[in-house]
């Protein structure tokens, strides 16, 4: 009887091991999330005068910030007219400079009446605000929400200064570096109510949002992405917020955003392609949602809890981000990662080890992803393009 039971247990163990090995061998290992792409290539250009005003800024020889209205855009050079020629007052905030125009609005009929300035895109200032605290948005595009397994849109504070349209991002050893393209919006005033949003001068610009996926895996609650944990730590940094060359002030915000197209490529291979009209919540709704979540210090960053916004409003030096579309690199742990994580956990002593089973799986997953080398690597070139907001070129460095 004992011999028979031993034989059955041995056979059961062999079958179990065989099933586990087969499951391990047959596990797929996706290298990124596949996106859908429009059939026609994206065509970049300037928004027509009748639909929007395109602004850019640079520092002149005397160290002063100059705001120009862009009238031409070719390759790596823009042509613009100093807003001072139109009666505008100097201001670091381009939207205040634009709002101060007292002489005449530029249009197709009078554009040749003013002296033009040529500026290299590499000399333009970031289109993002001067602040270091911004409003990030998660899973606001349906396909990306499906990728992330999220059921709702959420916000989080993102920390770090905006960088220019020609910039670099560091791929630090041991970090899974991921990309995201987004639309961003800034204001000429502080936003405390939806009425403030409606009356403000609003400027759109193209932006990127890089992610340290290690920090996200280690800190986030996968069952509650709006827990306030993980996103601020994973998406904040000195080079994680590249911004485009232009600040565009549309006459009809909703219509303009709806038709805006944005794309991502890595080493000239297409990765993302979406339009603003795909957003689950538009910018007005995002502002309203953010303003309703200012009362608690519930967002963890650098081991301290923060409010969504420092002054419980959307300051004029803050950016409100749209969230990204499908096509990011990150995919959840595979069956192989889970099996290897369990094996490592048991080999280390199981309950007697220093790690929990979940931590073992996380560490195994991160190690496998690093070894695969399919996240951003030094030497890669990430490009974000848009129909009317210009483009961003980022070289990945060590």
Instruction: Answer yes or no: is pLDDT of 5 > 70.
Output: no
Instruction: Answer yes or no: is pLDDT of 245 > 60.
Output: yes
- Domain housing 152: 133-332+374-397
pLDDT in tens, 29-55: 667 888 999 999 999 999 999 999 999
Angle at 214 between CA 209 and CA 219, to 5 degrees: 95
Domain count of the fold of the chain: 2
Q: Is residue 43 part of a domain?
A: no
Query: Is 333 strand, coil or helix?
Result: coil
Q: Are residues 112 and 174 in the same domain?
A: no
Q: Is residue 267 part of a domain?
A: yes
pTM: 0.92
Choose among 203, 202, 189, 209: nearest CA to 245.
Answer: 203
CATH of the domain at 191: 3.90.850.10
CB neighbourhood size of 36 (10 A): 11
The bridge status of strand 166-170 relative to strand 392-397 is: parallel
Last-in-domain residue among 63, 90, 123: 123
CA distance 111 to 116: 9
Q: Are residues 100 and 74 in the same domain?
A: yes
Q: Are residues 78 and 195 in the same domain?
A: no
260 CB contacts (<8 Å, ≥6 apart)? 183, 204, 275, 276, 386, 387, 388, 389
pLDDT in tens, 84-104: 999 999 999 999 999 999 888
Instruction: Answer yes or no: is pLDDT of 368 > 80.
Output: yes
Predicted local confidence at residue 17, as pLDDT: 46
Predicted local confidence at residue 22, as pLDDT: 45
Q: Are residues 172 and 257 in the same domain?
A: yes
Q: Are residues 278 and 386 in the same domain?
A: yes
The bridge status of strand 154-159 relative to strand 133-138 is: antiparallel
pLDDT in tens, 162-218: 999 999 999 999 999 999 999 999 999 999 999 999 999 999 999 999 999 999 999
Q: Is residue 39 part of a domain?
A: no
Q: Are residues 189 and 228 in the same domain?
A: yes
Q: Where are the beta strands (DSSP E) in 107-195?
A: 117-120, 133-138, 154-159, 166-170, 177-178, 181-187
Predicted local confidence at residue 28, as pLDDT: 55
Last-in-domain residue among 68, 101, 123: 123
Choose among 320, 334, 353: nearest CA to 155.
Answer: 320
Mean of pLDDT values over 221-237: 94
Q: Are residues 159 and 294 in the same domain?
A: yes
pLDDT in tens, 91-148: 999 999 999 998 888 888 899 999 999 999 999 999 999 999 999 999 999 999 888 8
Identify the weakest region by mean pLDDT among 198-207, 233-242, 277-286, 356-365.
Answer: 356-365
Q: Are residues 274 and 387 in the same domain?
A: yes
Mean of pLDDT values over 150-172: 96
Q: Are residues 154 and 235 in the same domain?
A: yes
Query: Quick one: pLDDT band at residue 319, thresholds 50, 70, 90?
Result: very high
Which of the two residues, 150 and 205, has the higher pLDDT score? 205
Identify the weakest region by mean pLDDT among 1-15, 47-61, 271-285.
Answer: 1-15
Average pLDDT value for the chain: 91
Predicted local confidence at residue 3, as pLDDT: 55
Query: Quick one: pLDDT band at residue 14, thresholds 50, 70, 90?
Result: very low
Query: Is 198 strand, coil or helix?
Result: helix
């Amino acid at each position: 009887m004992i011999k028979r039971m031993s034989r059955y247990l041995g056979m059961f163990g062999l079958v179990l091991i065989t099933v586990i090995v087969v499951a391990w061998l047959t596990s797929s290992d996706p290298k990124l999330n596949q996106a859908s792409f429009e059939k026609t290539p994206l065509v970049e250009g300037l928004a027509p005068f009748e639909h929007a005003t395109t602004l850019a800024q640079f520092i002149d020889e005397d160290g002063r910030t100059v705001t120009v209205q862009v009238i031409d855009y070719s390759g790596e050079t823009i042509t613009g007219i100093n807003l001072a020629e139109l009666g505008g007052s100097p201001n670091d905030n381009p939207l205040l400079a634009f709002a101060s125009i007292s002489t005449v609005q530029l249009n197709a009929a009078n554009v040749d009446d003013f002296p033009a300035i040529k500026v290299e895109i590499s000399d333009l200032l970031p289109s993002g605000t001067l602040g270091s605290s911004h409003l990030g948005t998660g899973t606001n595009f349906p396909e990306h929400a499906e990728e992330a397994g999220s059921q709702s849109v959420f916000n989080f504070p993102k920390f770090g200064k905006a960088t220019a349209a020609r910039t670099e991002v560091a791929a630090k050893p041991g970090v899974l570096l991921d990309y995201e393209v987004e639309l961003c919006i800034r204001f000429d005033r502080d936003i405390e109510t939806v009425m403030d949003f409606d009356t403000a001068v609003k400027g759109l610009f193209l932006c990127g949002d890089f992610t340290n996926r290690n920090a996200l895996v280690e800190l986030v609650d996968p069952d509650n992405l709006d827990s306030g944990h993980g996103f601020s730590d994973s998406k904040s940094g000195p080079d994680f917020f590249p911004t485009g060359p232009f600040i565009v002030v549309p006459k009809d915000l909703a219509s303009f955003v709806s038709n805006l197209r944005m794309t991502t490529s890595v080493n000239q291979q297409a990765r993302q392609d979406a339009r603003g009209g795909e957003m689950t919540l538009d910018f007005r709704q995002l502002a309203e949602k953010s303003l309703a979540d200012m009362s608690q210090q519930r967002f963890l960053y650098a081991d301290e809890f923060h409010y969504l916004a420092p002054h419980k409003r959307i300051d004029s030096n803050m950016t409100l981000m749209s969230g990204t579309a499908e096509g990011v690199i990150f995919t959840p742990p595979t069956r192989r990662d889970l099996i290897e994580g369990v094996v490592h956990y048991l080999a280390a002593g199981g309950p007697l080890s220093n790690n929990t089973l979940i931590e073992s799986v996380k560490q195994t997953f991160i190690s496998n992803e690093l070894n695969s080398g399919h996240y951003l690597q030094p030497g890669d070139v990430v490009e974000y393009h848009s129909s009317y907001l210009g483009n961003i070129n980022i070289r990945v460095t060590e």
